[in-house]
């Protein structure tokens, strides 16, 4: 399905929806439906040869928009290419139990923040342990909140270079195929997250939940298995950046997963991991919007975070130390010209390709107060 049809599904779903969307969700849907239309504003160019004027509608640049993510992914990949180390990389996934989904609905920013903190504390503790790597890890963590059918499924993807930088400046390489024992990671992660929830309660968070229900929920959570996945990446370094890019810029729903929209109902393609088969689920447009709205992030919330020697403040210095310890030189970054130049179109009137920027029309998007 094209992006235009996808916008029609969203518009129909919003009009038919019976649920109340908050201001952030309304703002995001406003951006998505207006992307590359006159509502998003336009840039006007004039041909320097014949004076023909070309009007180009602007993109919304919303991080939830499928039409704006390809270029963002390519740019991110170019910037991160110089950060790749010649070591094995590990992919870890920490899942938040579905029993907490109701809390996520009421306190999304708080739960997501505690998830990031608990996962980093877990990985950092294992990395610093003298029995394991005895050094500082580097972690890139990306928040995903969805499953294939768009129900809430909160989990954190972590991509970790396989080793740690010791205090003496040496590189301690990981030798396991899963970095750290998954069962031990799960127990530590569970204990840390439940402890963080208790501390947040004492500080006044979660005021909509009574004490008895809160304590029972945490007790129940301590008695269930928390899912953690860990595995060494099986691809070569030439494909690593593209792999990272797909995870960092992936959104809950893209237009190619929708088909056969009749004005009220649309087919959603999804993969059923129980039998690993591609299937189709019919949904009303309003139900699709309701599910998509579950994954609109709180305003200003950072869903991609870097920790340890990959933290923004120390990344360049630490990577230089690691490469020195590994006796390798940093790869030269070759920036794609396509990312730095505006695509030049031939003038439909005279065939020349020299344009002069005239100005732009303002955006007409709705913004909440």
pLDDT-based confidence at residue 1 (cuts at 50, 70, 90): low
The beta-carbon contacts of 235-238 under 8 Å, at least 24 apart in sequence, are: 237/84, 237/86
Q: Is the pLDDT at 100 greater than 80, yes or no?
A: yes
Q: Provide the 10 A C-beta neighbour count for residue 304.
A: 14
Q: What percent of the chain has pLDDT over 90?
A: 45
Judge residue 77's burial from the number of C-beta atoms within 10 Å of its C-beta, 0-12 exposed, 13-18 middle, 19 or more buried. Answer: buried
CB 163 within 8 Å of CB 195? no
> Is it the case that residue 101 has pLDDT exceeding 60?
yes
Q: What pLDDT does residue 339 have?
A: 41
* Top-confidence residue, 117 or 255: 117
Segment 183-206 mean pLDDT: 93
Higher confidence at residue 26 or residue 128?
A: 128
The structural domains of the chain, ordered by start, are 3-62+342-361 (no CATH), 69-252+295-326 (3.40.1310)
Residue 331's pLDDT band, with cuts at 50, 70 and 90, is: low
pLDDT of 195 > 50? The answer is yes
Give the chain's mean pLDDT: 86
Which pTM does this prediction carry? 0.87
In angstroms, the Cα distances linking 171 to 44, 130, 166, 309, 323 are 54, 14, 6, 12, 9
- What is the model's pLDDT at position 338? 44
Query: Is residue 100 left, alpha or beta, with left meaning phi > 0 and alpha meaning psi from -120 to 50?
Result: alpha
């Amino acid at each position: 399905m094209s992006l235009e049809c996808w916008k029609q599904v969203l518009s129909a779903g919003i009009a038919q929806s019976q649920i109340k969307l908050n201001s952030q969700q309304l703002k995001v849907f406003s951006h998505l439906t207006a992307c590359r239309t006159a509502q998003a504003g336009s840039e006007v160019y004039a041909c320097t040869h014949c004076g023909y004027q070309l009007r180009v509608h602007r993109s919304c640049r919303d991080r939830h928009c499928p039409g704006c993510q390809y270029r963002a992914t390519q740019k991110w990949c170019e910037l991160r290419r110089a950060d790749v180390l010649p070591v094995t990389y590990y992919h870890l996934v920490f899942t938040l139990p579905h029993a907490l989904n109701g809390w996520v609905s009421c306190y999304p920013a708080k739960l997501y923040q505690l998830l990031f903190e608990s996962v980093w504390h877990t990985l950092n503790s294992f990395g610093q342990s003298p029995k394991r790597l005895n050094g500082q890890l580097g972690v890139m963590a990306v928040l995903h909140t969805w499953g294939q059918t768009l129900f809430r499924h909160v989990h954190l993807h972590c991509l970790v270079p396989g080793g740690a930088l010791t205090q003496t400046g040496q590189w301690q390489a990981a030798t396991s195929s899963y970095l750290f024992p998954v069962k031990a990671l799960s127990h530590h992660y569970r204990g840390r997250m439940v402890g963080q929830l208790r501390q947040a309660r004492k500080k006044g968070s979660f005021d909509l939940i009574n004490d008895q229900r809160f304590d029972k929920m945490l007790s129940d959570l301590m008695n269930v298995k928390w899912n953690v996945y860990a595995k060494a990446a099986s691809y070569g370094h030439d494909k690593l950046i593209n792999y990272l890019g797909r995870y960092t810029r992936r959104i809950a729903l893209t237009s190619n997963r929708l088909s056969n929209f009749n004005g009220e109902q649309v087919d959603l393609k999804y993969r059923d991991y129980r039998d690993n088969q591609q299937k189709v689920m019919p949904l009303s447009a309003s139900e699709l919007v309701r599910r998509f709205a579950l994954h609109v992030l709180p305003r200003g919330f950072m869903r991609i975070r870097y920790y340890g020697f990959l933290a923004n403040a120390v990344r360049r210095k630490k990577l230089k130390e690691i490469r020195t310890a590994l006796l390798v030189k940093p790869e030269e970054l070759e920036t794609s010209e396509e990312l730095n130049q505006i695509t030049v179109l031939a003038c439909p009137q005279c065939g020349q390709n020299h344009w002069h920027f005239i100005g732009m029309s303002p955006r007409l998007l709705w913004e909440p107060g």
